[in-house]
Chain A
Amino acid sequence: MGRFWSLLFLLVPVLGVGAFVFAAADVWPIHGHWLPDNINDHGGVIDSLFMFILYLTGVIFIATGIALFWFLWRYDAAKHAEPAKFTHGSHTLEVVWSILPAAILLFIAIYQMNAWADAKIRRPIESSGPDGVAGTADDVPQRPLALVTGRQFEWQIHYSGPDKEFNSEDDTVRDDVFIVNELHVPVHEEVVLQIESQDVLHSFFLPNMRIKQDVVPGMKQFVWFRANREGTFDIVCAELCGWGHYKMKGRLTVESREKFDRWLAQQYDEQQRRSFVAGTGE
């Protein structure tokens, strides 16, 4: 039976790697079981880091899996008469297999930091500030296109409008637009969104943008992206927010600047509706 069990353990790396290869190759029977299309100019780096770690861990997975199989197969007591090697270990080996993984792991950690900073720390700037040098403290951060507020159980979207200010109430500009669950953004433009929560924790997840950020009541946070393709995509809530958590679906529409402006103007007009004639419908 030793042979049978050894082979069973060999199946782990074989089928394990196989499953990922199948999924990544996007072949029958598991179409579309891989990272969803990335439409964010800044998202590719996350995909390539994912793949980098996948290759690295894949190699270790195969190596250790095969070693385990081979030791079980080779040293099966029923098949081999020679006595066990009486050894308490090897200092050299311990040093080697401590330092090597440590180096690799530290490398991964340091290698990722830039991507992390780009995704979460270095918000796009509107201008480089008085000193004219980007990357300094006086940079003017880009103002958000819209405020996305999570509430049980929908995404409320609040466009700041042309003046780029939320809730501005000087009497000339009242251009804010309020929408639920439908977020439209212009394509090929750096977009900053301010995200907040009205009640409990939610998480603003754009699978196709590789963006996820929990929203916390009492805090405001920002996400940014530059979409490179038009189309409609899902907005998902990724943090448990109550019984209707699964319902908290929004739709992200990426469209050209003209279409976006037209759509926003349309929404604004509807929002300012002050008359009703029967038969016109909604």
Chain B
Amino acid sequence: MSASTVDSHGHAIPHAAGHAHGGSSVGHFINTYVFSRDHKIIGLQFLFSTLLWFLVGGLLALGIRWQLAWPWHDMPVIGRMLFSPEGGQISPEFYTMLFTMHATVMIFFVIIPILAGAFGNYLIPLMIGADDMAFPTLNMLSYWFMWPAFLCIGSSFFLPGNGAASGWTSYPPLSAVWEAAPGSGMAQTMWLLGITFVGISSMMGSVNYMTTIINMRAPGMTMFRLPLTIWAMFITAILQAFALPVLTAAGFMQLMDRTIGTGFFLPEGLVVNNSMAATGGGQPLLWQHLFWFYSHPAVYIMILPAMGMVSDIISCFARKPIFGYKPMVYSISGIAGLGFIVWGHHMFISGMNPVLGMTFMVATMLIALPSAVKVFNWLGTIWGGKVLFTTPMLFATSFVSMFIIGGLSGIFMAATPVDIFIHDTYFIVAHFHYVLFSGTAMAVFGAIYFWFPKMFGRMMNETWGKVHFFFTFVFLNGTFYLMHILGAVGFPRRLADPYHYETFAHLQPMNQFITICAIGMVSTQIIFAINFIYSMFYGPSVGRNPWHANSLEWTAPSPPGHGNFDFQPIVYRGPYEYGSPEVDTDYYPQIQPPPTHPKGTVPPKHH
């Protein structure tokens, strides 16, 4: 990074890479890389932490798949470690722990923090032309508040019951009565504390994102010149800020039910597993309302940023402006708005008043609309472009392709009568894995390949990236698609041994096929891990803008130094002016002033 590299039209300011730090070199290291207040370091800290948890979550998933394919057979590695007197056969509560912790880890430690924490942190200041977040210390705290969460939930694995085991939804009374399940003891308390810390961290992040996006945009960066990634992050932050307090409050209520004998969620006199009769007076359904009041918006927290990043990637590699920028923004906002009034669709058969179910059905049907608009706009963006099949583009395209499946299968669940049959079956498992893995996780992979050169100044290997894409794509469909078929048979979720039901006994071969695909899918990530780590150190170095993209982050050095820009960015247009007739290049960076002469009279300025 040379401090003198100044963009042709930028205003030269001293480069910040040599930012002076007082104190010893150890203190310098800690300030720069551990308790850093630089949004990029914090973003990378989130990225590395979440990728490690991604591995944990993936392995937990393999445990689930193993049991479903070969129930009660000795489970490799873990069965030998924990259940050797039983011949490696896991116990049923261990299975309930596996799927609880798989979901917990994937949702709270991977998907949410990798989108908001890693990419939100890294990209927001860079894409809006700010030198950092509005509140750098708060930002640092938002990362470090993840650690108590990591420790709480990590420690829950080593407590009696081997971890919380009442599902990631933690429905009382199962979760609220200590005696109700092996995992409902101390492990569940630690789980609740962990979730609270995740909530604190997210809240700090979302306050920061909102403030930064509203206040710190570069000159000329109007709201409607923001890249869609930033719009998505902005809306996500609003969603989080308004929905999270409800979950935090509910979490505390459950903690109190568990510890000081309140009865928010327990009916009077409830006895589970010969526990002391609850003082009670509460309602188990109350928890579901509070939980889903957060967790349904959370579903959009888990997908909107991915949609934003995919829009940026697709526009860049279709070399064409995004189709319908404003409708895209409106649909993101529409999803966020409707997202607050559809939580009841998780509760159609919960015992909630069925009349209420009808209103939630209408709202839920309507929320499919903005999603559909987005899909059409992505297709419109690719239409008439010049598609470059780079690795990020493949992942982004697969997001669109897979999101169509995830979106369409959602309509089945939104229809209340059909939901009676498919609720809590593998149909829903297929649905949310298509949205969260085939959707968000694929978008995250694409985003990593796309912004890697900005993060580390080096490219990831394209060939191996495509190999990684190909096998992930094939195996994920092998894994998740057939779950729709299982769901059509009524195959229920969360059963440690479904095959003793006559209705489902014949589904074991299909489950074995799914498990083999899942093993393939997880193994494929070894390619990604090696490519990632190798490229960090040995990948080919690249300049500021390897993809010839328009948005502001590509005008900063790669990787950007402390303070991000070595000039004051001034924004002249939106981020998607690819193939503009105003200039000869097929891209038109946001900071490039409009030509003073008609096209063709000024020689191209760009490297």
Contact = CB atoms under 8 A, between A and B. Distances in A.
A199 B326 CA distance: 51
How many interface residues does chain B have, given as a range?
35 or more
A31 interface: yes
Contacts of B253: none
A2 B477 CA distance: 20
A2 B412 contact: no
Contacts of B415: 49, 53, 108-109, 112
Interface in B359-412: 361-362, 365-366, 368-369, 372-373, 375-377, 379-380, 382-389, 394, 397-398, 400-402, 404-405, 408-409, 411-412
Contacts of A242: 93, 96, 174, 180-181
B523 interface: no
A64 B379 contact: yes
B473 to A, nearest CB: 7
A88 interface: yes
Contacts of B368: 101, 105
Interface in A52-88: 53-54, 56-57, 60-61, 64-65, 67-68, 71-72, 75-78, 80, 83-88
Nearest to A34: B488
A216 B349 CA distance: 11
B454 interface: no
Given A94-B373, A239-B424, A45 B325 contact: no
Interface residues of A, number: 100
B473 A8 contact: yes
B506 interface: yes
Contacts of A120: 354, 357, 416, 420
Nearest to B280: A218
A240 to B, nearest CB: 5
Secondary structure of the B side of the interface? helix
A191 interface: no
Interface in B249-268: 267-268
Contacts of A80: 386
B324 A89 contact: yes
A84 B489 contact: no
Interface centre among B270, B351, B423, B507 (most CB of A within 10 A): B351
Contacts of B501: 234, 236, 249
Interface in A154-184: none
Given A120-B357, A207-B490, A236-B501, A221 B383 contact: no
Interface stretch (A12-20, A139-147, A273-281): A12-20
Given A20-B484, A84-B320, A212-B421, A112 B361 contact: yes
A272 interface: no
A181 B466 CA distance: 53
A5 interface: yes
Interface centre among A34, A36, A109 (most CB of B within 10 A): A109
A34 B181 CA distance: 34
B372 A71 contact: no
20 contacts: A19-B484, A33-B486, A33-B507, A34-B489, A50-B422, A68-B379, A68-B401, A83-B386, A86-B321, A89-B325, A98-B327, A115-B417, A199-B271, A201-B171, A217-B173, A218-B267, A218-B268, A234-B502, A240-B167, A245-B494
Q: Which 5 A-B pairs have the closest CB atoms?
A: A218-B267, A85-B384, A243-B93, A89-B324, A120-B354
Interface of A: 1-2, 5, 8-9, 12, 15-16, 19-20, 23, 30-36, 45-46, 49-50, 53-54, 56-57, 60-61, 64-65, 67-68, 71-72, 75-78, 80, 83-90, 93-94, 97-98, 101-102, 105-106, 108-110, 112-113, 115-117, 119-121, 152, 199-201, 203, 205, 207-208, 210-219, 221, 233-234, 236-247, 249
Interface of B: 91-93, 96, 165-167, 171, 173-174, 177, 180-182, 267-268, 270-273, 280, 283-285, 318-327, 349-351, 354-355, 357-358, 361-362, 365-366, 368-369, 372-373, 375-377, 379-380, 382-389, 394, 397-398, 400-402, 404-405, 408-409, 411-412, 414-418, 420-425, 466, 470, 473, 477, 481-482, 484-486, 488-490, 492-498, 500-503, 506-507, 510, 576, 578-581, 586
